Amino acid sequence: MKTPLKKQPVASPLEELLTFDNRFVHELPGDPETENRPRQVARSCYSRVLPRPAAQPELVACAHEVAELIGLPKEACNTKEFVQVFAGNRLLPGMDPYAACYGGHQFGSWAGQLGDGRAINLGEVVNQRGERWTLQLKGAGPTPYSRQADGLAVLRSSVREFLCSEAMHHLGVPTTRALSLALTGEKVVRDMFYDGNRKEEPGAVVCRVAPSFIRFGNFEIFAARQNTDLLRQLADYTIRTDFPHLGEPSTAAYRAWFEEVCRRTAEMIVHWMRVGFVHGVMNTDNMSVLGLTIDYGPYGWLENYDPDWTPNTTDASGRRYRFGNQPQIAWWNLAQLANAVHPLIEDTEFLQRALDSYGEVYRNGWQKMMSSKLGFFSFDPDTDQELVEELEKILKLTETDMTLFFRNLARVKEDGTATDEELIAPLMEAYYHPEELTDEVRERTCRWLRSYLSRARREGVPDVERRRKMDAANPRYVLRNYLAQLAIDKAEVGDYSLVKTLQDVLRRPYDEQSGREEFARKRPEWARHRAGCSMLSCSS
């Protein structure tokens, strides 16, 4: 049975500030069925669906920079209309809400149709600079792609998504953005670790913002269904809308597009590795064709340097999405996208060369990135590869905080008379158990430090310049897991102060911020095994 969408646009001062285009729903085929029930959706790129109204919406936080990006002044975030719109209670004229249809490989296996199960796109805003931004509510209720879920989100995961989206942007990592975080005034039942311990948690909605939310999985679903016509329509739309510099859609444009997706993906992963970010659930439906970090679920930052660490409890046994495996998984995901778009390109050798180019872009980017982290102006393969390999071994000899080690490495200097104790002193803050540093570990570390400083001197750059270069690549502040959890703890009892403080601190992650040293400290012992501070599940 078909039922009409009933929620009507409500006039608001915001409507004079926002101009909607909604090219996605205007140019691509949609679901003819309007009943909002879980089902397989065939021959459609999306289904129109309305957000579920929030009982008592309350704004927790807003990113004013993102508001201005879409054309809203800072003051607009403090209005009643703002929270009503971005909690899902009101539609502005021009909004045309929908959920997208896509599939994906999850943990290496084809999962079939997935889609926006708890995300609803409100529409596409075009700002005064002609930039297109899609506004998407996460946690605003069920869609035809929700399967057996309720389409809602809890405050716990929403705080993490809001803070991390913006933290990543200010770190210089390609990412989707977050405009707002609002409570719904309702409770949502969740089993955080899928162990039978269900409980009620505060419900929340995040408004996410990106030029596009198109994923690898949007193409995979039509390839799997052998719907080449719709696959081509989606590819043509994507090129015209998000890659117009490639020219009109054609076989040549499809090729250039796939090469660019490979390049952007490689560049994104290099940034993840630079700051120690672990996505945790790199399924193909969580990979953006724009090379943006998307879907902040069970993510985490490396505390101690451990390339085998994953923050995802679901991935604990196989560790498919561990930190050190992210470059390989991105390549694997691109290979699945190559399979999906093969009917448009029909050249296996070309697709293989494009996949090979991912490896080349990643290697070159990684070398440049490591040079920056170490304060070098170029990467010398004859010496630096061995230097970095030895460093990675040293970091694993004892529990060493990755963020603090690289930040403090810029403070290490040697005038030819320094003892081992004086040389290693700036790094002691990075060790979780400095009392456990054996003589052998100290000696090996100091040998490496002297080799490193000798290499740095060959650059002919004063220590102050080396430090400036390193501080621009190695953040002082990252969204450590325990900090996010402390903010969640406070927010769940109605205190949003730490959410806002962290948001402000993370706006300047490379700066020394007087009076905020506590936010740069390594993980405390109490957080080592606490839920939310060490590992998380896909549940929200």
Closest-CA residue to 46 (of 175, 181, 215): 215
Write phi, then psi, for 157 (nearest 5 degrees): -75, -30
- HEC string of 201-252 equals EEEEEEEEEECCCCEHHHHHHHHHCCCHHHHHHHHHHHHHHHCHHHCCCCHH
Inter-CA distances, 471 with 156, 373, 464, 468, Å? 31, 8, 11, 5
Distance separating alpha carbons of residues 230 and 45, to the nearest angstrom: 8
In the residue annotation, 380 being an active-site residue is answered as: no
Exactly one of 31, 285, 384, 401 is catalytic; which is it?
285
| Whole-number Å distance between alpha carbons of 491 and 343 | 49
Residue 334: φ, ψ to 5°: -65, -35
Residues 6+ apart with CB under 8 A from 462: none
Closest to 30 measured CA to CA, from 144, 147, 119, 139: 144
Q: Are 155 and 192 in contact (CB under 8 A)?
A: no
Q: Which residues contact 321 (CB under 8 A, 6 or more apart)?
A: 278, 279, 280, 281, 282, 310, 312, 315, 329
CB of 483 within 8 A of CB of 391? no
Cβ within 8 Å of residue 60, ≥6 positions away = 155, 159, 162, 181, 182, 183, 204, 491, 496, 499
25: nearest Cα among 49, 48, 52? 48
Q: What angle do the packed helices 381-395 and 348-374 form, to 10 degrees?
A: 70
**Type of residue numbered 429:** E
CB-CB neighbours of 132 under 10 Å: 17
Positions annotated as catalytic residues are: 285
